[in-house]
Structure 1
Amino acid sequence: MDAFAINQLLKIIEQQLDWGDANEWQSKDFENLNLLIFKKTKVSLSASTLRRIWGRVEYNHLPSTTTLDTLAGFAGFENWRVFTRQHKQAVHPANHENIGSPAPSKEKTNRGLNAILIVIIAIIIATLIAMYIRKQPAPVNGKAYSFSYKPVTRDIPNSVVFSYDAKTSPTDSVYIQQSWDPMTRTLVDRNRHQHTSVYYRPGSYHAKLVVDKQIVKELPLIIATNGWLGMIAHKPIPVYLNKSEFIKQDAMVLPVAAILKKNIELEPQPPIVEFYNVGNFTPVPLSDFSFSVEVKNGYYEGAATCRFMEVGLITDQVPIAIPLSAKGCVSELNLLDGHNMVSGKKTDFSGFGIESSEWVKVTCRSTASKIQYYVNDKLAYESVMPSKKMNIVGLAYTFQGTGSVRKIELKRANSVIFNAF
């Protein structure tokens, strides 16, 4: 395993994040990076693991291939092997010998060394100056800028037209960022006024206008669905389903035959099937809700033996994601509780383990200070209520392979706000 290539990959991620010198990242930065990586790759690399990889904690071992595959995927590469193949041309620090060439004189060698030292010192000074300038951006007056958006349609995919006024920017560093993910940041012309972006997935986003590396405007953006939306995860564009393919009279279910009909193989790695309903009911406060649903995994052959499923409550802030799996796989689960990610590596998630492929009832509700999660009417976990006010605006269901959903009910206090099947 190539330590130089690992360092190259970390540098690429640092540039994409644009969070400044990684040596000055705080614990919260690594926690945020953990969340970003999970949202993009569905793999959790703990904050402590990330601190070790970035050399903030002494650790004498190289990262595992799984960890490197995840980091490469987060950076936009298919996997670690593809990354290393594409970066073969990177120059490795090495001593090169000119075999058969006359040995240089001592005087010439000294002159060469002095020249190299001068260049190195100049580079160090320039780097320090650049770092200082980078860390000391001039304050930007957010009132001098405007930012708004308009979705083109209610279907998915959906193009969004962003309108902005950034002509007073002191530099050409004006960006529009589609979401929480810094990698969706796009450089725009400060003298123009419109930019468009395509959203291939529904959900809650926070679009940002960034000037000279400072967020000057931030807007909540709900990408809604026209009723229920079904899709199969695929890069770069998901495979969208016709409603008739997965909506039945008493449930949502995508048969295996329907997946194979789209030339998507179930082996060796099963696809991810997703169902969404966003922006079609009155938002429900997270502080006063109850929710229940029944789900069933529809495929558990080969690599799908863990029967991974996820029930999601999409909020206008951080979502709630309730994981389920076969009992023997609960260590791999990760739960989002509206503000933090909780890892099954450090928490007893045995309550989220299921015995078979039968229907599983999942219930989630708020109390005065907590959110409680039940599986088949047994308390599986509870978390602290987020301090920030937020509302449930959508529902999401994810299955490894395929799955079924029925008996959906979302309530505020004792009033039913949304139900289906």
Structure 2
Amino acid sequence: MKDQSEQAVNSSFFKNLDVCCQMIADMIGEKRIAEWTNSDYINLSRQLARKTKIRLSESTLKRIFGKFKTSERYYPQKATRDALAQFIGYKDWDDFENRDATIPELDRPKVSNREYVPDVRNKNRRIWLMSATFLGLAFILTLIVLKPLEKKDVKMDVVQLVCLNPNGITPHSAIFKLVAKQPLTDSFKNFSIDFADGRSKRKQFLNPLLTHYYQVPGRYYPKLRYRNKVIDTGYVYLQTKGWSITGANQFDTVRVYPIQSPVRESDEQAIAVSAVDAFRAGVDTLRTFFVTFSNIKPTRINGDNYELSFQLQTSANRTGVRCSQVDVNIYGQFDQHLFSIFKPECTVWTSYQFSENEKYGEENDLRPFGHDFTKGGILTLRVVEKKVSLLINNKEVYTTNYQKSIGYIMGLNITFAGIGSFRNVQLRDLKSNELF
């Protein structure tokens, strides 16, 4: 009886793990888990690190998702399961296990001592001929029966994502609506939204309306998906009056904390908050935390021809801060410029996005984005006709380019891991000389 009870408990554990793996697969692409290659696991490792700050190697992920065949089923430790749950929008693994959701059918192979795919090389020729005939008939029937469905998918471009209240301040409950030029013949459940705030999982439409809660100022570009394919992009624009400051703890996908600070920018004094300011606002300063400074307002500065420069100093080594991270985000009308600076020994975590051009330190040599600013320095980003130059202490360290315009600049975010400060922010249009 005891063995049966233990088996039932283990079955429940693995059932939840399988569901979590399938939800992750649904979030990051259309391929079945059984079809994943090594590059898919590398991509998932990168996305997990970027979103949760926890790095799981591709070999660990292969064990979790069943790519590696073992005699006994692998069950990851709690910290690993917490990271997987946080990736799909839950607070931790306990929160995921307590969810109220219908368990989907899984397409992943079961882990056992048997091979996942039967070896058909030893099948006789007769079976091969029968299989080929069957596949040929199935292909012909697919062309005949599913041809009308192709037309329906092509018409999905008439479905748009509209935010009924896109402009405001934080906090903000944005109401999204599916707008179609003709009656929808497909289920609403085939449509979902990526909210693009970095803190929330994708949500599925159950009816034409869906509401989302935004907590940090900025300009967001939520994407509408139809059967996992992006078909439209909207926007949500949450402005500030001058610099607004918010704090957040790592892995807390629910709460952010507005921070009140008497420090304002001047020629002599930097913009900064103290650990005491953050603690009083509710931030747990004994854990890894981040402080974001936001100045969000519309401008006539060309997002493809501008220069941003400022002096900064990142956090000294403290609890939860070894890499002294600073993220810079320049919002445009249509897209954004975003990059991260880490200490030289931590460049695996670096990344950048300049419109459609994205790269990550786990897959690329981004050593130029490694610099120690704990004793201060000058950071400059110059964009000339969509050609990007990054300068550190007035020395050019990296260049790249992009194709799609981001339009006019609509705001700026600077985020520090721990306590950081900056001053003398200069953001100007290189042609008109208009200042931010």
The TM-score with structure 1 as length reference comes to 0.70
CA–CA distance in structure 2, aligned partners of residues 197 and 82 of structure 1 = 20
1:226-237 equivalence runs, <5 A: 226-234=241-249, 235=252, 236-237=254-255
1:18-29 equivalence runs, <5 A: 19=30, 21-23=32-34
CA contact (8 A) 2:14 2:75 kept: no
Greater mean deviation of Cα atoms: 357-366 or 244-253: 244-253
1:249-260 equivalence runs, <5 A: 249=266, 250-260=269-279
375, 378, 388: which one aligns with 1:361? 378
Shift, 1:58, TM fit: 9.9
Unaligned residue ranges in structure 2 (runs of 5+) = 1-9, 104-109, 113-137
1:3-402 equivalence runs, <5 A: 7-17=18-28, 19=30, 21-23=32-34, 37=48, 40-42=51-53, 69-79=82-92, 138-139=152-153, 141-142=155-156, 145=159, 147-151=161-165, 154-166=168-180, 168-173=183-188, 175=191, 177=193, 179-180=195-196, 183-190=201-208, 194-210=209-225, 217-234=232-249, 235=252, 236-242=254-260, 244-249=261-266, 250-267=269-286, 269-286=287-304, 288-316=305-333, 319-338=336-355, 339-343=357-361, 346-347=364-365, 349=367, 352-354=370-372, 357-367=374-384, 370-383=387-400, 385-391=401-407, 392-402=409-419
> Secondary structure in 2 aligned to 1:141?
helix
CA–CA distance in structure 2, aligned partners of residues 49 and 254 of structure 1 = 39
CA contact (8 A) 2:258 2:281 kept: no
Shift, 1:271, TM fit: 1.4
* Identity fraction in percent: 19
Q: For this pair of structures, how many residues does the alignment match?
A: 372
Question: Quick one: structure 1 residues 63 and 139, their matched pair in 2 at CA, closer, same or farther if it must change by over 3 Å?
Answer: same
Question: Quick one: structure 1 residues 86 and 187, their matched pair in 2 at CA, closer, same or farther if it must change by over 3 Å?
Answer: closer
Shift, 1:10, TM fit: 1.4
CA–CA distance in structure 2, aligned partners of residues 376 and 330 of structure 1 = 18
Shift, 1:254, TM fit: 0.7
Question: Quick one: structure 1 residues 325 and 39, their matched pair in 2 at CA, closer, same or farther if it must change by over 3 Å?
Answer: closer
CA contact (8 A) 2:292 2:416 kept: yes
CA–CA distance in structure 2, aligned partners of residues 19 and 351 of structure 1 = 32
Question: Quick one: structure 1 residues 50 and 279, their matched pair in 2 at CA, closer, same or farther if it must change by over 3 Å?
Answer: farther
Shift, 1:279, TM fit: 3.3
Shift, 1:364, TM fit: 1.1
Q: Pairwise CA RMSD of aligned residues?
A: 4.5
Give CA-to-partner distance per residue, 1:132-153, whole Å, 9 cap, x none: 9999774252465455323375
Who is 1:404 aligned against? 421
Question: Quick one: structure 1 residues 313 and 82, their matched pair in 2 at CA, closer, same or farther if it must change by over 3 Å?
Answer: same
CA–CA distance in structure 2, aligned partners of residues 336 and 49 of structure 1 = 27
Question: Quick one: structure 1 residues 177 and 8, their matched pair in 2 at CA, closer, same or farther if it must change by over 3 Å?
Answer: closer
**Matched letter for residue 11 of structure 1:** Q
CA contact (8 A) 1:323 1:335 kept: yes
CA contact (8 A) 1:17 1:183 kept: no
CA–CA distance in structure 2, aligned partners of residues 15 and 340 of structure 1 = 22
Shift, 1:51, TM fit: 7.8
CA–CA distance in structure 1, aligned partners of residues 388 and 75 of structure 2 = 35
CA contact (8 A) 1:298 1:403 kept: yes
Greater mean deviation of Cα atoms: 214-223 or 29-38: 29-38
Unaligned residue ranges in structure 1 (runs of 5+) = 96-127
